[in-house]
Amino acid sequence: MSKLAKSFMAAALLVGAANAQAIVIDFKAAAEPGGLYGESAWTSFNLLTDFGINVQISGAQGGNRAFAYLDASKAGMGVCGTVNSGAPVNIATHSGANRCNPSSDDNITASEELRFAINDAIVISKIWFNNNHDGDVSLIGDSISVFGNVHMFHAADVDAARGGDVVYASPISFAAGASGVISFAGEQFYLSAIEINRVPESATLALLGLALAGLGFARRKLH
């Protein structure tokens, strides 16, 4: 086997190793009573402590600061503009007690935004959504803006394995220090779950080194 072929094979193995680190964060399950957090409001929800991925999620409404809200009863993460008077925020309640005021839905419909501050190099490979607390439960034919891409969901996007949630399955890569927004584009939503691949720095550097070595070897062969 040539050195170039060996280099590309090693690179492929490293990519596979990086992809093997995928983790699915299930916001719907985490919001349930007795779940990892329970129904709760967060000024900034950080995935680092419980999932080892330095990504912070915050809520907004039309550019104004709001709360990232974990809503129980088969919902997930939405946006809450105002919490009940005296209701604690930024804590895991492990209960289904409502924190949002008013309590209907997660109280933000039009102009809701979930903002991501991404402090690790990651690939978001899948994002699941639902609309379980809206009168129009189905998201088929509805659109959500996913990191700048307005996506309309179709029947083929329904994931039966996740109880009929729809899935956005176009992987998006982010460098450390990036940011992005999932937002209203004609329909309210809940973030049901998200699949993230953390890209190890060592693998990234190794891939770059192997690519450069392969290019160098190919250049020598041409001469």
Q: How many structural domains compose the chain?
A: 2
Let me know: does 123 contact 197? Beta carbons within 8 Å.
Answer: yes
90 and 167 together in one domain? yes
109 and 218 together in one domain? no
Report the mean per-residue pLDDT for the chain: 84
39 and 138 together in one domain? yes
6 and 72 together in one domain? no
CA dist 105 and 19 (Å) reads: 36
Q: How confident is the model at residue 151 (pLDDT cuts 50, 70, 90)?
A: very high
- The token pair at 197 is 């691949």
Query: pLDDT tens across 156-215, in order?
Result: 999 999 999 999 999 999 999 999 999 999 888 999 999 999 887 654 455 455 545 555
Q: What is the DSSP string of 80-149?
A: ES-BPTT---SS---S----BSS-STTS--TTEEEEEEE-S-EEEEEEEEE-TTSSS---TT-EEEETTE
36 and 146 together in one domain? yes
Can you name the residues that pair with 112 across neighbouring β-strands? Answer: 61
% of the chain with per-residue pLDDT over 70:
78
176 and 204 together in one domain? no
pLDDT of residue 50: 95
53 and 135 together in one domain? yes
pLDDT of residue 7: 43
Can you name the residues that pair with 100 across neighbouring β-strands? Answer: 83
Q: How confident is the model at residue 108 (pLDDT cuts 50, 70, 90)?
A: low
- Domain holding 114, by residue range, is 24-195
5 and 115 together in one domain? no
190 and 204 together in one domain? no
